[in-house]
Each structure stands twice: as structure tokens, then as C-alpha cells.
């Protein structure tokens, strides 16, 4: 068969959301990367470039700044959006709560991507609860195609009611790909036009009460807004049982009802706006059915809005698991049970096993962690969010709380030991992007309060974990780079030195110096500078791979266990180590790790 020219394009969910934003006249977009939301802004940049639209698109220093910046564009009448992962919304929650009261002028969308599972997050939190807390509507797409469609709906909703609208995709939407039909890009031709109104935009508490009343009224009307009303997929089915689902769970239900032969036996309603749930829908569903099953991720947000829950089964009733991803096989089982099918299908189980993630072979972070452990072998090691969290494999990561917390926790450890008459070496690690994001305030605090620890800023000149987005240290074509050294010094730190961790002996010596300073004087900062290996913007150096001389290798496993390079393999039968030529990057750090010099450079 001949391959025809495609009329539809393969888009990842995040690319589809980006496309939807650009198609619907969004001209300001700001984001901070985080899985599963990272590709949204990259893709907005790409669509902007291809379509030649005048926009401001930025990787902001953190989510709070991103939301504030985009919201302000909406205050001037432009359409704007901000995108982040669910825990990023925690950081941005302060402006969100307030913006909900003030309302918007130009359409304003907050994309908050959830990660049930979780696959790559510290919590499974449901952003829809954050929408409830802020009292703003939230839309819950089931697929890339629907995510694209709902961005247009969200802008219309936002402008109709002058309210920020949340779009909440989950990992299975963000990181799904689908054939999506593109629509033309709308050029709205609006100009920024900020109408001063201090009693609204700078409202004092007295007026905030008034704004709260208005917000409640908006919500009541949004609960009757037709374009976002629940959709019944099988209106011809007459049943006393209904399943109500949103997001990817709705996509699973659609497939499972067909496979189980239940399409004509159970009514199926898809909710696209879980909050506020349409009031007429609540009444009609409660009146029209004897049993109602609600399937949604991750919390029972739709379920809890049914005020009478005697007929409702879901997370709160215990019928649906309250933690973990609601996988299609689980949905199928619950549906079969709900429909009273005698032999519920049982899915074959996964075999146990797997593989823990590790830092890349040749990753400079591995060398940094190894040096840290040499310089402070009995230390406490607070760490942070990024690839370097994987330093846990080397025993060099003791705590991971949230963005920037490595520094506050280092101070917390110091003071806790100090007031109980003890001293411990404390070495915190934070990535460059994370340091910019939330590391500066705790560093100021630590210096001010006289804390003593070493902070290693792992500066690989990129945001590696999420796909190599730039950091403020790279600057932008329009702006100036901000140097980490200057920031550190500006925080009042008196010991600030940089070195390349791939020079393991030199870096270890510097770490020892920093640890000594921290014991006597205060905060010492070491900036470990070396580029990320998967960053395509960094120059790639092709280096020769070393080899292990079998006669010299004593099988001590220091290189595989303590140094943990995945390119070094210990062979149980020969009791020797070999270099995996498929993945070794030739960084040659292992040469200084091997205690007997068995790993040697290959001259060629």
C-alpha cells in the first residue's frame, strides 16, 4: 500500500495543548519545567516559530513567577497561559488564590498536570482540589485531541465569566500521542490595554469580601454553562445504572464497556468540567439512576459533589482505590463488578523485577557525590529535586522534600544538632535550576542565622531531568544571564569556589577544604561545573573508552557499588569488572576511583 500524505499530525498531549493555546490566540505563555508538563512550553515556542506569531514565551525562574507574569498579561486584556506540574502549582498557589478573586480580562488558563502513580513526582495530589480551593473551574481532558479542544473552551469560559480556568491533564494525556487535526491559528489582534482600577486590582480586605461574593455567583453560573456540561456517550441505552467518568478514566471506560459487552446496558456520562460539577447533572443523575459509579483521578472530586451519596460508588465509598494510578485493567474490573458480570476478567499479572534508574554513565553528578562522600564520610546529605536525586544510589542523598529544601534542611539539621551540643558535617546538594527556583531565600536565611554547612550547587548548565530547558544562567536573546556565583556572593556567603567534578582528585580536595570551612566558619558553597551529557546544546566531546586490565582487577567492586557507574559490570563468574562499550561515555573518572589502577586509558 502506498503511503499517503498525512492529513492529521501526530501530537503528544503536551504538544496538542500548546497547539490549542496558540490556535486560540494565546500570546503570553510562561512555565517552569516539571514532568509531565515540560513539553508544553517547548512546544508553544515551536508553534510560535512555525506560525510566525508575535508572542512572549518564557521559561520563568519558578511557577509562582510564571503564573504572575502570565496573569498580568490577562489583566491587560491579552490571552495568556501558564503551565506547570501539580507540585509546581503548590509554589504558584499564592497568586492563584488571589487571582481567582480579582478575575481576569483576557482569557487566562492555568495548566496543571497531575501524575497519578506517581511516575515522576513526590506526590499524587489532585490539582482539581486546588481548583476547588481557589474556587475556579477545572477541565479534565481524556486525550491529546480533547486537550487541544478544551483549551479553546477554557479561553471562552475564562472570558465569559472573567475567571482563571484550570486545565488539568494527567500523565496519560500529556505523554500520550495521537493523530490530531490542526485548526488554523487565530490572530485576535488585541493590544495590551491595562485599565486602572485600584479598587479591584489592588483590593483591600473589605473589597475582597465583595469579590468573594461575586466569585461564588460566577461559580453557580459556571455550574450551568452548556459548553462544558457532561456528555452522555450512549444516550440510547436505558439503564438503572450509570457510570460517570472524567479524564483518561473516561477513555478506559469507553473501551472497557465495549469489550465487556456493556455498551447497551450501562449509561455512560463523561464529565469534562469536574468542578464545579453541573448542578442540573447532579439532580438528573441522582433522580434517573439507582446506582452511580464514579471513575476519576486521583481524588473523588466529582463524587464528593453529589450531596446525596447513598447511590454513589467511587473513591469515598471504597469501591475505587484512593491511591495509585487508575489503570485501564482496574477500571475494567470495577466496571464488570458494577454491572454484576459473574466472571470478572482477571488480567495476567506482571512479573516481578525491574531496574532502578541511575545517573547516566559519565554524569558529572556521580563524581560530585563520590567526592562528597570522601570529604565528609559521616555527613548528613540533604538533597533536592532533579537527576541528582539519583545520588541516593551512591548513599549521598539522605533527604528530598521539595524544590529548594536541601538548603533549608541543611540549616535545620545544623541548628538541631547545635542546640543539643553536637556537630555534624552537613553537605547539601542542589541543581543549578533548582537553586534559581527556590534556593536563594533559604541561602539568605542560612547566612543570616549563622548556619554551618557545605552547599554543592551541581551546575550542569541546564534543567536536565525534564529535557534540558535553559536556566537563568544562560540568559535569553533579549535579556542578560544571571551568574550563580554573583547570587551566592550576594547572599553573603564568604566561601564560594567552582571546579569541575570530572577532575575527581582536584574536586575532592576542594570539597575537603569546604568541609573544613563549614566546621569553623559558616556556609561554604562549591559550584560543581560540568555539562550534562544528554544536553544537545552543550558541545559533545567524543572520548575514548577505558578498559579494565583483567590481571590487575581484584574484584573489589568499588567502581560498581560505591561509584555505581552503570557502564561498569561485575561478572560473577570471572569476578572481574568489564566496561560496557554500549553505554560508556569515556569520562575516565573511574580511573581515579579504582584503588588498584586496573581501569586504564586506551590510547588509540
Partner 1 sequence: MSRQQLIISGVGGQGILFITRLLAETAIAKGLPVLTSETHGMAQRGGIVISHLKVGDFSSPLVRPGKADLLLSLKAETVALHLHFLNHSGTVAANARALPEAAAGKEAVTVDADTLALNLGDPRSVNLIVLGRALAQPGMLFCSAEEVIAVLKARLAGKEKQLQGALAALKAGMEYGAA
Nearer to partner 1, 351 or 419 (CB): 351
**412 contact, one of ligand SF4, partner 1, none, CB 5-8 Å limit per kind:** none
The footprint of ligand SF4 (CB under 6 A) covers 359-363, 365, 387, 460, 464, 532-534, 545-546, 565, 567-568, 579, 584-590
User: Is the separation of the CB atoms in 138 and 166 below 8 Å?
Assistant: yes
Nearer to partner 1, 412 or 467 (CB): 467
Nearer to partner 1, 88 or 164 (CB): 88
Prior bond of 546 cis (ω within 30°)? no
The CA-based angle 59-57-74, given to 5 degrees, is: 110
- Name the pairing type of β-strands 312-313 and 291-295: parallel
CB of 3 to partner 1, least distance (A): 4
Q: Is 556 annotated as contributing to ligand binding?
A: yes
User: Is the separation of the CB atoms in 217 and 299 below 8 Å?
Assistant: no
Distance CA(54)–CA(25), nearest Å, equals 10
CB of 131 to ligand SF4, least distance (A): 33
Instruction: Please compute Rg for the chain using Cα positions.
Output: 27
* CA 98 and chain centroid, separation: 23
CB of 543 to ligand SF4, least distance (A): 8
C-alpha cell of residue 236: 440510547
Nearer to ligand SF4, 379 or 566 (CB): 566
CB of 502 to ligand SF4, least distance (A): 9
Cell 479591584 belongs to which residue? Answer: 200
User: Is the separation of the CB atoms in 29 and 82 below 8 Å?
Assistant: yes
* CB neighbour class for 373 (10 Å; exposed up to 12, middle 13-18, buried from 19): buried
CB of 241 to partner 1, least distance (A): 20
**Closest Cα partner for 21 from 1, 39, 6, 3?**
39
User: Is the separation of the CB atoms in 466 and 88 below 8 Å?
Assistant: no
CB of 251 to partner 1, least distance (A): 4
Helix axes 127-134, 93-102, angle to 10 degrees: 40
C-alpha cell of residue 286: 441522582
**343 contact, one of ligand SF4, partner 1, none, CB 5-8 Å limit per kind:** none
Nearer to ligand SF4, 151 or 560 (CB): 560
Nearer to partner 1, 326 or 577 (CB): 326
**355 contact, one of ligand SF4, partner 1, none, CB 5-8 Å limit per kind:** partner 1
CB of 157 to ligand SF4, least distance (A): 39
Q: How many CA atoms lie within 13 A of 120 on its CB side?
A: 19
User: Is the separation of the CB atoms in 374 and 509 below 8 Å?
Assistant: no
CB of 473 to ligand SF4, least distance (A): 15
**Closest Cα partner for 91 from 402, 385, 428, 301?**
402
Nearer to ligand SF4, 336 or 430 (CB): 430
CB of 464 to ligand SF4, least distance (A): 4
**254 contact, one of partner 1, ligand SF4, none, CB 5-8 Å limit per kind:** partner 1
Distance CA(128)–CA(276), nearest Å, equals 10
The footprint of partner 1 (CB under 8 A) covers 1, 3-6, 8-10, 12, 35-36, 38, 119-120, 142-143, 172, 175-179, 248, 251-252, 254-255, 327-329, 332, 347-351, 353-360, 387, 389-390, 465-467, 566, 581-583
Nearer to ligand SF4, 337 or 580 (CB): 580
Nearer to ligand SF4, 237 or 474 (CB): 474
Beta pairing partners, 294? 244
Nearer to partner 1, 115 or 303 (CB): 115
Q: Could you count the other beta carbons within 10 Å of the beta carbon of residue 307? A: 9
**552 contact, one of ligand SF4, partner 1, none, CB 5-8 Å limit per kind:** none
Nearer to partner 1, 92 or 359 (CB): 359
**589 contact, one of ligand SF4, partner 1, none, CB 5-8 Å limit per kind:** ligand SF4
- Give the number of residues written for the chain: 604
Distance CA(77)–CA(190), nearest Å, equals 7
Q: Is 587 annotated as contributing to ligand binding?
A: yes
Q: Is 26 annotated as contributing to ligand binding?
A: no
Q: How many CA atoms lie within 13 A of 585 on its CB side?
A: 16
C-alpha cell of residue 270: 463523561
**349 contact, one of ligand SF4, partner 1, none, CB 5-8 Å limit per kind:** partner 1
- Name the pairing type of β-strands 165-167 and 138-139: parallel
**63 contact, one of ligand SF4, partner 1, none, CB 5-8 Å limit per kind:** none
**533 contact, one of partner 1, ligand SF4, none, CB 5-8 Å limit per kind:** ligand SF4
**222 contact, one of partner 1, ligand SF4, none, CB 5-8 Å limit per kind:** none
CB of 13 to partner 1, least distance (A): 9
Q: Is 232 annotated as contributing to ligand binding?
A: no
Q: Is 559 annotated as contributing to ligand binding?
A: yes
CB of 594 to ligand SF4, least distance (A): 9
Q: Is 387 annotated as contributing to ligand binding?
A: no
Q: Is 590 annotated as contributing to ligand binding?
A: yes
User: Residues 6 or more apart from 176 whose CB is under 8 A from it?
Assistant: 12, 13, 143, 144
Encode 333-352: b = buried (16+ Cβ within 10 Å), e = exposed: bbbbebbeeeeeeeeeeeee
C-alpha cell of residue 330: 482496574
User: Is the separation of the CB atoms in 178 and 16 below 8 Å?
Assistant: yes
**463 contact, one of partner 1, ligand SF4, none, CB 5-8 Å limit per kind:** none
**354 contact, one of partner 1, ligand SF4, none, CB 5-8 Å limit per kind:** partner 1
* CB neighbour class for 232 (10 Å; exposed up to 12, middle 13-18, buried from 19): middle
CB of 360 to ligand SF4, least distance (A): 3
Report residue 496: phi and psi, to 5°. Answer: -140, 105
Nearer to partner 1, 176 or 593 (CB): 176
Q: Give the annotated binding-site residues for [4Fe-4S] cluster.
A: 553, 556, 559, 565, 584, 587, 590, 594
Binding residues: 553, 556, 559, 565, 584, 587, 590, 594
Amino acid at each position: 500500500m502506498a503511503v499517503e500524505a498525512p492529513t492529521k499530525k501526530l501530537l503528544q498531549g503536551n504538544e496538542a495543548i500548546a497547539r490549542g493555546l496558540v490556535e486560540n490566540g494565546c500570546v503570553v505563555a510562561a512555565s517552569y519545567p516539571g514532568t509531565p508538563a515540560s513539553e508544553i512550553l517547548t512546544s508553544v515556542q515551536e508553534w510560535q516559530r512555525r506560525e510566525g506569531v508575535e508572542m512572549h514565551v518564557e521559561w520563568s525562574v519558578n511557577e509562582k513567577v510564571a503564573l504572575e507574569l502570565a496573569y498580568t498579561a490577562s489583566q491587560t486584556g491579552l490571552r495568556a497561559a501558564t503551565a506547570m506540574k501539580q507540585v509546581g502549582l503548590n509554589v504558584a498557589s499564592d497568586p492563584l488564590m488571589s487571582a481567582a478573586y480579582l478575575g481576569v480580562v483576557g482569557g487566562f488558563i492555568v495548566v496543571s498536570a497531575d501524575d497519578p502513580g506517581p511516575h515522576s513526582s513526590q506526590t499524587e495530589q489532585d490539582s482539581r482540589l486546588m481548583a476547588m480551593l481557589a474556587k475556579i473551574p477545572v477541565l479534565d481532558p481524556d486525550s491529546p485531541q480533547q486537550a487541544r479542544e478544551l483549551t479553546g473552551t477554557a479561553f471562552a469560559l475564562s472570558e465569559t465569566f472573567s475567571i482563571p480556568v484550570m486545565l488539568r491533564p494527567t500523565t496519560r494525556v500529556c505523554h500520550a500521542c495521537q493523530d490530531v487535526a490542526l485548526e488554523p491559528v487565530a490572530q485576535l489582534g488585541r493590544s495590551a490595554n491595562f485599565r486602572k482600577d485600584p479598587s479591584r486590582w489592588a483590593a483591600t480586605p473589605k473589597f475582597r469580601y465583595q469579590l468573594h461574593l461575586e466569585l461564588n455567583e460566577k461559580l453557580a453560573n459556571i455550574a450551568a454553562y452548556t459548553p462544558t456540561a457532561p456528555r452522555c456517550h450512549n444516550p440510547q441505552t436505558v439503564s438503572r445504572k450509570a457510570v460517570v467518568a472524567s479524564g483518561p478514566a473516561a477513555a478506559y471506560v469507553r473501551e472497557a464497556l465495549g469489550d465487556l459487552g456493556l455498551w447497551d446496558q450501562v449509561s455512560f456520562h463523561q464529565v469534562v468540567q469536574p468542578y464545579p460539577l453541573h448542578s442540573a447533572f447532579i439532580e438528573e443523575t441522582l433522580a434517573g439512576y439507582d446506582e452511580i459509579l464514579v471513575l476519576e483521578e486521583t481524588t473523588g472530586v466529582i463524587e464528593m459533589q453529589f450531596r446525596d451519596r447513598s447511590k454513589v460508588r467511587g473513591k469515598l465509598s471504597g469501591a475505587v482505590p484512593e491511591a495509585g494510578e487508575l489503570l485501564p485493567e482496574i477500571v475494567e474490573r470495577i466496571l464488570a463488578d458494577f454491572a454484576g458480570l459473574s466472571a470478572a476478567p482477571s488480567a495476567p499479572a506482571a512479573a516481578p523485577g525491574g531496574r532502578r534508574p541511575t545517573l547516566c554513565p559519565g554524569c558529572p553528578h556521580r563524581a560530585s557525590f563520590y567526592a562528597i562522600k570522601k570529604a565528609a564520610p559521616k555527613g548528613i546529605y540533604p538533597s533536592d529535586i532533579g537527576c541528582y536525586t539519583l545520588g541516593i544510589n551512591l548513599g549521598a542523598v539522605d533527604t528530598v522534600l521539595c524544590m529548594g529544601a536541601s538548603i533549608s534542611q541543611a540549616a535545620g539539621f545544623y541548628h538541631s544538632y547545635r542546640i543539643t551540643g553536637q556537630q555534624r558535617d552537613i553537605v547539601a546538594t542542589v541543581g543549578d535550576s533548582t537553586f534559581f527556583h527556590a534556593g536563594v531565600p533559604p541561602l539568605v536565611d542560612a547566612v543570616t542565622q549563622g548556619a554551618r554547612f557545605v552547599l554543592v550547587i551541581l551546575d550542569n548548565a541546564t534543567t536536565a531531568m525534564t529535557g534540558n530547558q535553559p536556566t537563568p544562567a544562560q540568559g535569553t536573546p533579549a535579556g542578560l544571564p544571571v551568574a550563580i556565583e554573583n547570587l551566592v556572593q550576594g547572599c553573603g556567603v564568604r566561601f564560594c569556589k567552582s571546579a569541575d567534578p570530572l577532575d575527581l582528585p582536584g574536586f575532592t580536595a576542594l570539597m575537603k577544604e569546604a568541609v573544613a570551612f563549614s566546621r569553623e566558619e559558616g556556609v561554604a558553597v562549591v559550584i560543581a561545573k560540568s555539562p550534562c551529557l544528554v544536553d544537545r546544546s552543550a558541545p559533545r566531546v567524543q572520548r575514548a573508552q577505558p578498559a579494565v586490565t583483567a590481571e590487575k582487577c581484584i574484584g573489589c567492586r568499588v567502581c560498581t557499588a560505591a561509584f555505581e557507574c552503570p557502564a561498569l559490570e561485575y561478572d560473577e563468574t570471572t569476578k572481574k569488572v568489564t566496561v560496557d562499550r554500549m553505554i560508556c561515555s569515556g569520562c575516565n573518572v573511574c580511573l581515579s576511583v579504582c584503588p588498584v589502577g586496573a581501569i586504564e586509558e586506551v590510547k588509540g
